[in-house]
A and B are shown apart, each in its own frame.
Chain A
Amino acid sequence: MIEAKKLTRYYGDFLAVDHLSFSAKCGEIVGLLGPNGAGKTTTMRMLTGFMPPSEGSAAIDGHDVISESLEARRRVGYLPERVPIYPDMTVRGYVQFWARLRGVRDVERQTDLILKRFSLYDRRSKLVRQLSKGMRQRLGLAQALVHNPPVIILDEPTIGIDPQQVIEVRQIVRELGRDHCVLLSTHILSEAEDICDRVLIVDQGKIVAQGTPAELQKLIRSNTYYVQIGGASEKDIRIFLKGLNGVQSVTRDGSGYLVQASGDNDLRADISGATLKSGYTLLELRQARGSLEEVFLEAVRTDESSQQPAPEHKKKR
């Protein structure tokens, strides 16, 4: 369905996408995971036919995005990161416009169908400018799907909407993934884990690691633990934790501490045992789950097979 071969894109001298190759099948949800500026949007823009690649090629459902551009574009539903709207159109008029432009046969019926599917039918006569952010996101999806494309490309579909809506959008994407080829970008690891069948980790325009979410999890051999201890001063706790066998470093993280083990041994039993023995109160103890940064650093490290300083732990989920 999607076939990218050595896709490359320069902006002037800046190499945004660097010989990226991958493919995605029908019934598969593929996630592009990476920080801002990794080249995710540029990659998507080349696949949707918005931007011609500097080098390499891409095909949608067997149609080259350059030589058979119109055919390829007809087969893609695209939701850019910022939902493009015509503020002065009605919800229905907006969807009908895109349906017509993409050559849908039964515009009226197809539009109403898609509006019902995204629970926008009741608001069909409202102006687009009156919609809330979450509803605009749904409208964006409606627009992308109204012509029933086999390939769906979503750029950060859950950014900037509230948690309830995030769940909704993820649910929709999961359903779409059953009979479409879905490519989405995200910089949230848990999201990629949650909905993608396969994840491509992109950094500086290159794929640095790829696999199923489970395989990627294995990449992070997390030897860091989050500990929260009560009944002692910060100084005492630090001294206590540092004094434990197998502890390499201790860093403050919120109201607790991140303990980095020097080896691969599970430290949890040691930590809990020692805490109880010393008379402190153990409030929380868990293995710190890998963040995106860790996956990255880990992926890059494996890539270069060189030893790098321990990854920094920023946000835990």
Chain B
Amino acid sequence: MGTLTIFRREVAQYFISPFAYLIGAGFLLFTGILFARDFQTAAYQTVPINPAFIPSVISFITVFFAPLLTMRLLAEERREGTLELLLTSPTSEAGIVFGKFLGAWFYYSVLLALTFVYQIILLTYVTPDPGHTALAYIGIWLYGGAMIAVGMLFSALTENQIVAAFFSLITLLILWIGDAAGEIIGNIEVARLLRGLSLQAHFSSSFAVGLFKAEDVAFFAGIIVILLYLTIRIVESNRWH
């Protein structure tokens, strides 16, 4: 009930704000240019096109986009004082946090869906492996959910949106680079640990190469659940001071 109302408000908020359209436009421009170049290269070199190319690009740029999507989610509520009204309405903290998370994830899903246009363009020239494509998209969708959960956690911690965006960006960047760092480190234990914690590593070596690993699905789902739980507790803590 409350979750749905909050979800609706968040989604409406994204679609009435010019900022969200700018994010969407930037997202499409960026992926569009890279797609066109990749397509061109593939055509010249007659190598098979990689169906996970666009999802892989998204995995990197979402590191920068996700904080922009999530920074206002709870920080704004705190700054404007509306959090106090939300917390005195007949809705649970969990309802508030879920509603907001789902709203942001929905907007992200719409952005993802827009990039299907590249797959359609591909289909008119080649026949990429549909399983590979689907897995890459499922992977990036879950990865995006986890990134949004990270961003929301920081948005709950401060009333300053810029601070929230900054810390989520740094965190996501570290979680992204952990994958590459793990690949160049000689010590296998450290490398495993780094890649085990890195969000990117759970995408790049499974979904992105067309491999389904249940543990990676569980990893992203687990990250989302844990971070949402922490966010709920942080929102709750607003009652104490």
Contact = CB atoms under 8 A, between A and B. Distances in A.
B9 interface: yes
A84 B82 contact: yes
B129 interface: no
Interface stretch (A100-108, A185-193, A231-239): A100-108
Contact of A86 (B80, B87, B92, B239): B80
Contacts of A78: 85, 88
Interface string B52-83: 00000000000000000000000000001111
B1 interface: yes
Nearest to A90: B16
- Label chain B's interface by main secondary structure: helix
B84 A50 contact: yes
B241 A80 contact: no
Interface in B1-36: 1-2, 5-6, 8-9, 12-13, 16-17
A51 B90 contact: no
A52 B241 CA distance: 10
A258 to B, nearest CB: 40
Given A51-B239, A73-B89, A103-B1, A85 B84 contact: no
Contacts of A74: 90
A98 B85 contact: yes
Q: Which interface residue of B2, B16, B17, B84 has the most chain A CB atoms within 10 A?
A: B84
B32 to A, nearest CB: 28
Contact of A50 (B6, B8, B88, B90): B88
B80 A87 contact: yes
B91 interface: yes
B240 A103 contact: no
A78 B85 CA distance: 8
A82 interface: yes
Q: How large is the interface on A (under 10, 10 to 19, 20 to 34, 35 or more residues)?
A: 20 to 34
B159 to A, nearest CB: 13
B82 A101 contact: no
A18 to B, nearest CB: 18
Contacts of A85: 80, 82
A80 B5 contact: no
A84 B241 contact: no
Nearest to A71: B90
B241 A11 contact: yes
A49 interface: yes
A190 B17 CA distance: 44
B233 to A, nearest CB: 15
Contacts of B84: 45, 50, 80, 84
A143 B81 CA distance: 14
Nearest to A79: B85
B91 A101 contact: yes
A59 interface: no
A73 B9 contact: no
Interface in B194-231: none
Contact of B90 (A45, A80, A103, A143): A103
A55 interface: no
Interface in B80-135: 80-92
List the 8 shortest-distance A-B pairs measured between CB atoms, nearest first.
A84-B81, A84-B82, A48-B88, A100-B5, A70-B90, A74-B90, A73-B90, A50-B88
Interface of A: 11, 45, 48-52, 70-71, 73-74, 76, 78, 80, 82-89, 93, 97-98, 100-103, 143
Given A51-B239, A85-B80, 7 more contacts: A45-B84, A73-B89, A73-B90, A84-B80, A89-B13, A101-B86, A101-B91
28 contacts: A49-B87, A49-B88, A50-B84, A50-B88, A51-B239, A51-B240, A70-B92, A71-B90, A73-B89, A78-B85, A78-B88, A80-B81, A82-B81, A83-B81, A84-B80, A84-B83, A84-B84, A85-B80, A86-B80, A88-B13, A88-B17, A89-B9, A100-B5, A101-B5, A101-B90, A103-B1, A103-B90, A143-B85
